Amino acid sequence: MIPIEKYFQVSAVDIRRISRDFRAEMEKGLTGRKSSLKMIPTYVRRPTGDEKGVFIALDLGGTNFRILKLVLKGAGRSGEPRTMKFVLKKGLITGSGVKMFDFLAASLKTFLKKNKMSSEDRIRLGFTFSFPVNQTGIASGTLVCWTKGFEASGVVGKDVVILFREALARQGLFNIEVAALANDTVGTLVAKNYEDPHCDIGVIIGTGTNACYPEKVTNIAESKFQIRHCEEARSADEAIQKKEIASGASRPRNDESEMIINIEWGNFNKLRRNVYDRRLDKASDNPGRQILEKMVSGMYLGEVARLVLADIAGGGMRFTGIDRKHVAKSYGFRTEEMSGLAVSKSADPVVKVVLDMVSSRAARIAASCMAAIITRMDPRLTKTHTIAIDGSVYEKYPGFSMKVNKALKELFGKRAARIKTALAKDGSGKGAAIIAAVA
């Protein structure tokens, strides 16, 4: 019988193979060929650092969403963000999409009133919408499918910015200009880049996982840019945007122009799965999809570890420091619990070994893919690169960030000194505000 440790090992050879395969999938995705990586154009570029003004961001990535006010001062400096958190109850995320967007707009109205922002002033807003979106412009994108338990009706296949603008109109908020649509990964990159011009990769490793980076527009296939006709517009702003897209304003063509690409790396499928991965995948609501996410993200790490522990427990072994009921129940063992047990003195040594196997594999896979992005941009690694990383797994799981950096050193040796990984806590909201300024 193969030792369980073997199932989760990611050797130095494996890291290089994963990185090579990831680069190949990136290239296929960019050129419009079939790929597990969507490589979605975001129509967003990196900031110059000189942007100034007052901007608002609405950050929706789960049932808890934030609204944020940010003052940009130029020279890479910004004021302390003013933030309010709101909660979308289950009835809103599983009911009517109209009611859900009305709640978002009403919450924004509350925020503006509390922050004494006049309804007479034109306010630019960045909308972080962290769900799979087919982006068709800097401020337009259709929802591909809901995730994270959201099921609001009448939203899939629709432009989420138009739906939000309609909700703003119903609240009488005609002074709000939705200037940009972005996901949390792009926001993380932009937020860090505003203060650190070397930042060229944004990564999320939390409940979900994703990455983005800037790509030369000339390397992106025409077919990746989806241009809709002006008659589909439902507002004057939308009509103007369509004309800009049609004229090529959203698709710069000179050799130096760049655009941030949303990789959607959670769907990367060139990874070797073991019996536990296949078991988890088969029981999931999206079998055969989001393979990397099921090995790396906080949504699934606890379940992978639980499946291993359940197998061991089935052989008669008893553990200390862990509730057996959690091990017996599907998704009963959460990643947060893993994090606590990883440093607990009362946890069983066998449990700690299992947790280390699962978390180490996740860190090394993530590092392999980060390395692929760096070598895509800088094959000889002659420049300095900062990777902005946000997410609870990267921030809070004991030793996770250290394992990522160790894997990067294995790949690049001394040249790894040119790579800096930086925690970009809550970058998505701040980034959305900056994107509104860039737009």
Query: CA 328 to CA 324: how far, in whole Å?
Result: 6
Q: Compute CA distances 368 → 13, 64, 126, 178, 392, whole Å.
A: 11, 31, 31, 36, 20
Q: Are 220 and 41 in contact (CB under 8 A)?
A: yes
Both tokens of residue 344? 């607990």
List the alpha helices (DSSP H) in 234-377: 236-246, 275-283, 293-296, 298-314, 324-328, 335-342, 349-377
What are the structure tokens assigned to 424, written together?
A: 């970009």
Q: CATH number of the domain at 4-37+267-423, out of 3.40.50.1970, 1.10.3720.10, 3.40.367.20, 3.30.230.70?
A: 3.40.367.20
Torsion (CA) 23, 24, 30, 32 in degrees, nearest 10: -160
**Per-residue pLDDT at 149:** 81
Which contiguous run of DSSP H or E holds residue 423?
A: strand 419-423
Are the C-beta atoms of residues 389 and 421 closer than 8 Å to each other?
Answer: yes
DSSP 196: -
Q: What are phi and psi of 137, to 5 degrees?
A: 180, 175
Task: Note the pLDDT of residue 409.
Answer: 97
Q: What is the pLDDT along the chain (439 residues), one digit of tens a residue?
A: 458 889 999 999 999 999 999 999 999 999 999 999 999 999 999 999 999 999 999 999 888 899 999 999 998 899 888 999 999 999 999 999 999 999 999 999 999 999 999 777 899 999 999 888 888 889 999 998 888 889 999 999 999 999 999 999 999 999 999 999 998 999 999 999 999 999 999 999 998 999 999 999 999 998 888 544 333 333 434 443 444 444 344 444 455 699 999 999 999 999 999 999 999 999 998 899 999 999 999 999 999 999 999 998 886 667 777 777 888 899 999 999 999 999 988 888 989 999 999 999 999 999 999 999 999 999 999 999 999 999 999 999 999 999 999 999 999 999 999 999 999 987 888 899 999 999 8
User: Which of 202, 170, 207, 268 is closest to 432 using CA atoms?
Assistant: 202
Q: What is the pLDDT of residue 324?
A: 78
Domain boundaries, the chain: 4-37+267-423, 40-195+217-250+427-438
> What is the structure's pLDDT at 353?
93
Predicted TM-score (pTM) of the model is 0.88
d(CA 426, CA 322) in angstroms, rounded, equals: 31
β-pair partners for 385:
419
Q: Which two tokens stand for residue 312?
A: 């061991």
Quick one: the chain helix, strand, coil %, rounded to 5? 45, 20, 35
For residue 147, the one-letter residue type is: T
H helix intervals, 133-273: 160-170, 184-195, 236-246
User: Of 176, 183, 160, nearest to 101 (Cα)?
Assistant: 160
Q: So what's the pLDDT on residue 316?
A: 65
CA distances, 423 to each of 343, 370, 387 (Å) = 21, 15, 8
Q: Give the H or E element holding residue 66.
A: strand 64-74
3-state secondary structure of 114: helix
What is the per-residue pLDDT for 136? 85
Retrieve residue 216's tokens. Answer: 């030369």
- Which tokens go with 439? 């737009």
What CATH number belongs to 40-195+217-250+427-438? Answer: 3.30.420.40
Query: What one-character-per-residue DSSP string does 20-52 give?
Result: HHHHHHHHHHHTTS--S---EE-S-----S--E
Rounded Cα gap, residues 372 and 423, in angstroms = 20
